[in-house]
Amino acid sequence: MGMLNLPGFLSCGKKKDFSLSNEKDAHASANDENSERGNWSNKGDYLLSMVGYAVGLGNVWRFPYLTYQNGGGAFLIPYTLMLALAGLPLFFMECSLGQFASLGPISTWRILPLFQGVGITMVIISTFVAIYYNVIIAYALYYLFASFQKVLPWSDCFSWADEFCSKTQLVSDCNATLDGEIIHANYSFIINNNLTCINGTMNYISGQFPSEQYWNKVALQRSSGLDETGGIVWYLALCLLLSWIIVGAALFKGIKSSGKVVYFTALFPYVILLILLVRGATLEGALDGIEYYIGRQSNITKLMEAEVWKDAATQIFYSLSVAWGGLVALSSYNKFHNNCYSDAILVCVTNCLTSVFAGFAIFSILGHMAFVSERPVSEVVDSGFDLAFVAYPEALSRLPVSPLWSFLFFFMLLLLGLDSQFATIETLTTTIQDIYPKVMKRLRIPITLGVCILLFFLGLVCVTQAGIYWVNLIDHFCAGWGILIAAVLEIIGIVYIYGGNRFIEDIEMMIGKKSCLFWMWWRMCWFFVTPVLLMVSVVNWVVLV
């Protein structure tokens, strides 16, 4: 199919040239359709990069908890609807936009100069996310190295623990009554030892698992708050440096090098998840955990609660990484007639199925932890950092050959984090390439290295004793309202100002003509449903803040 005249939209291929130079990129191959920027070496490089970008840490440490909390299997109903009504339409739009323009998130908006701030917002958000995301990778590296011990350092209450550390998380003190007077014994004890309280009452005090105290006291050396910065935790700083070295090495040739690395980093986490699931399924209590996840706790009446639908929309929106700029940047290296529609469907479905699959691996082992600690599953389930670095490590420490399982888990977290980070940094370097093409063509490696070094130094504040507070702060604000606002403006700009029907014509130039029935769904979503859902999400976020 020959190149057509583009109807007033951005260039693609060789019809229009928004670049500052016609020189061939040193990293573009002879077979590339776009000799100025280069293209993916093959379709597999692109698809795995997109899967790696979309499938991140949230699929493992957030989705399973939300499913359990919001009605178990019933939560999959709003989750699937939000995928179809909000997540997939935005994902398809951004992939199409990047592929048609062959430009990054800022330069793409030359179609609407007034909305160029949308692209700038995406790049700024990606910059902040890149800073703290590599800190999370550094945490995973630290725990990965800590797993190379015969006995996991968080498997028991060692010298760093205080009196509230307990593997049962229950500490009691004994109040004995004698001659009408209350005598407070000056000792406390764990309920599973041999001490008893004679003629008295047991006062239960909630204790802390060894993994929780290890996370706060040893790994983070957590201070009391954001105002108490403390010093840099040197071993976390070294792990942060190593994580940036890995990212820089994978991106030294841009998509030509990262596209090969993702064959391992995007696929091997599935192998580890399968291994963890098989191991977890053989443990006592695993079935209880899985039933809590998607079986016994299933409650269809939960769908009457607005909070459930809000959680489903939020999880879909963030897990697909829309409005971050990465989808536009990665898709900009596609060939013009690539079928971005089928790519969007495949990546979105893979992302959601991965979330569900990860939940079985997580809850099977948490069910075993609840069994051995003689507690309900609901008391050991958590999300976010508390799941990844407290609850799950605690559960793994109770397995035979626990260092092996710990190594596999944190290696999986490392790979999931790196995939997302590759695309985030590629977003930044693509932006530089589009603005300063001549410089980028000559100095790609030094510029990529410079970006990594700069972000490493900016991230040092996140590996101080108050670092975890900075990570949570950036995550809450930069990855919160900013992305929602960018998404709202993006869809308004494309659909209502540039023109939704015009945009559909542009897509058909790439993937071929489609029937009116085919576009009916996408028109309904882009023109009405998706903008409304985004606006509701923005209002909900503002109310919560």
Binding site residues for Na(+), as ranges? 52, 54-55, 59, 319, 351, 416, 419-420
pLDDT for position 542: 66
Express each pLDDT in 268-310 by its tens digit.
999 999 999 999 999 999 999 998 888 766 788 888 888 888 8
Residue 1 has pLDDT above 90, yes or no: no
Position 222 scores a pLDDT of: 96
Residue 7: is its pLDDT beyond 50?
no
Per-residue pLDDT for 196 more than 70?
no
**Residues contacting 201, CB < 8 A, separation 6+:** 174, 175
pLDDT in tens, 8-32: 333 333 333 433 233 445 456 667 7
DSSP category for residue 464: B
- pLDDT reported for residue 265: 96
pLDDT in the model for residue 174: 54
Contact assessment for residue 14 and residue 3, using Cβ atoms and an 8 Å cutoff: yes
Class of domain 43-157+231-488: mainly alpha
What is the 8-class DSSP label of residue 482?
H
Q: Given this model, what pLDDT does residue 539 score?
A: 81
Q: Hey, how many other C-beta atoms are within 10 angstroms of the C-beta on 230? A: 13
Average pLDDT of the residues in 511-537 = 93
DSSP state for residue 84 in the 8-state scheme: I
pLDDT digits (tens, 9 = 90+) for 73-118: 889 999 999 999 999 999 999 999 999 999 999 999 998 999 999 9
Res. 189 pLDDT band, cuts 50 70 90: very low
Would you state the pLDDT for residue 184?
Answer: 43
The answer to whether 109 and 18 are in contact (CB under 8 A) is no
- Return the pLDDT at 220: 96
pLDDT at residue 181, as a whole number: 41
**pLDDT attached to residue 300:** 85
198: pLDDT strictly greater than 90: no
Residues at the annotated binding site?
52, 54-55, 59, 319, 351, 416, 419-420
At 59, is the pLDDT very low, low, confident or very high (cuts 50, 70, 90)?
very high
**Of all residues in the chain, what percent carry a pLDDT higher than 90?**
64
What is the pLDDT of the chain when averaged over all its residues? 86
DSSP 391-441: IHHHHHHTSTTHHHHHHHHHHHHHHHHHHHHHHHHHHHHHHHHHHSHHHHH
Q: Which token pair is 27?
A: 């990293």
**pLDDT computed for residue 9 by the predictor:** 38
* pLDDT over 60 at 503, yes or no: yes
What pLDDT, in 10s, does the model give residues 361-410?
A: 999 999 999 898 888 888 888 778 888 999 999 999 999 999 999 999 99
Per-residue pLDDT reduced to its tens digit, 238-256: 999 999 999 999 998 899 9
How far is the C-alpha of 92 from the C-alpha of 84, rounded, in Å? Answer: 11
SS3 state at 189: strand
Closest CA to 321 of 453, 426, 429, 251: 426
Q: What is the token pair recorded at 475?
A: 């995550």
Residue 176 has pLDDT above 70, yes or no: no
**R_g of the chain, CA atoms, integer Å:** 26
The boundaries of every CATH 1.10.4160.10 domain in the chain are: 43-157+231-488
User: What confidence score (pLDDT) does residue 81 get?
Assistant: 94
Q: Tell me the one-letter amino acid at 388.
A: A
- Of 172-176, 262-266, 414-418, 506-510, give the lowest mean pLDDT range: 172-176
